[in-house]
Amino acid sequence: MILDDIVEKIKNAKDIVILTHEIPDGDAIGSSLAMYFALKQLGKEADVIIPEFPATYSFLPGVEAIKKRSNILNYDLAIALDCSDIKRLNGFANYFENAKSKIEVDHHSSNTMFGDHNFVNPVAPACAQILVTLFEYLGVEIDKNIGTCIATGIITDTGGFKYNTVTAETFEFIAELLNKGINISDTYRKALQIVSKKKFEITKIAVNRLEFLENGKIAFTYITKEEQEKLELDVGDHEGIVEQGRDVEGVEVSIFLREEEENKYKASFRSNEYVNVSDICLMFGGGGHFHAAGCTVELPLEQAKEKLIAQTKLYLK
């Protein structure tokens, strides 16, 4: 059985590396650190390698142990968490590829099963939720550190328990964490609510110039490279801007452009009901999910805006 294989690999491994996807979110970092503490409990030291992560998650226990890189080239065991594809281990896939054994634990339906042992549950709303099952099997006790990391993964990946991916088990696990004394409301506030001043300022700029088009069905806004540089933004500080437009009454599609280089924009798309924004982004070489997708456009702002909106209009009712 897969869980027995995983237990055996962990028990026999001398050096272990924990990896997660690029541009890591709360589930990626929370799952990685939960695994780090779980292995510690089993008497194993592991390296968590995450080159860059948003400052929002610095409240998590164990962040000081995160490494940017490692000198070990051939680990006994590599564990990839919350990662659907080896390509998303961008820049540090070598640690995974060179390891003697490869385990992955994930919840993406698009998972490519790139490990030797793949514990994948596409119905789980967060990778962290799958870890609860795995830790039970490993005999790991969910203590305060592990519980906080798991709660962060679940809270962030469910948008604060509001996505339809939430299962009855999600609340059972959260109840279990509450029983163990983990402060869920404090974790919720730190992981989802508090924003840095810089993030607030860039959101303010974007919201201020947001415009409604096509009878209010499209919301459009952007930020320039200059603005981002001036505010010295950290990784992920632009997250959430596209949702500002999406959440306004009557809007079906929200579009947000972020200038990466001169005449090069990263476009984020969100839809509420019927528009498959992944299809729109596909036309520009991008992709994603039905309600959330992205692409890159190499054009000056006005032309980029015009093209994206012309394409979006075709999908509106």
**What whole-number distance in Å separates Cα of residue 10 and Cα of residue 99?**
13
The residue among 174 and 297 lying less far from Mn ion, judged by its C-beta, is 174
The residue among 104 and 157 lying less far from Mn ion, judged by its C-beta, is 157
Binding window for Mn ion (CB under 5 A); candidates: 46-54, 153-161, 205-213, 288-296: 153-161
Minimal CB distance to Mn ion: which residue?
27
Check residue 106 for interaction with Mn ion (CB under 5 A). no
Selected from 127, 267, 297, 308, the binder of Mn ion by CB under 5 A is 127
**What whole-number distance in Å separates Cα of residue 181 and Cα of residue 307?**
52
The residue among 27 and 259 lying less far from Mn ion, judged by its C-beta, is 27
Q: Which two tokens stand for residue 57?
A: 């998650």
Rg (Cα) of the chain, in Å, rounded? Answer: 21
Check residue 130 for interaction with Mn ion (CB under 5 A). no
CB under 8 A, 24+ apart: contacts of 255-258? 255/218, 255/219, 255/220, 255/221, 255/308, 255/309, 255/312, 256/206, 256/220, 256/221, 256/222, 257/221, 257/222, 257/223, 257/297, 257/301, 257/304, 257/305, 257/308, 258/222, 258/223, 258/228
Closest CA to 82 of 157, 134, 20, 161: 20
Q: Residue 109 Cβ, how far from Mn ion at the closest point, in Å?
A: 12
Selected from 82, 104, 252, 259, the binder of Mn ion by CB under 5 A is 82
Binding window for Mn ion (CB under 5 A); candidates: 11-19, 110-118, 155-163, 300-308: 155-163
Q: Residue 126 Cβ, how far from Mn ion at the closest point, in Å?
A: 5
Query: What amino acid is encoded at 169 in this protein?
Result: E
Check residue 104 for interaction with Mn ion (CB under 5 A). no
Q: Residue 82 Cβ, how far from Mn ion at the closest point, in Å?
A: 4
Check residue 27 for interaction with Mn ion (CB under 5 A). yes
Binding residues vs Mn ion (CB under 5 A): 27, 82, 127, 157
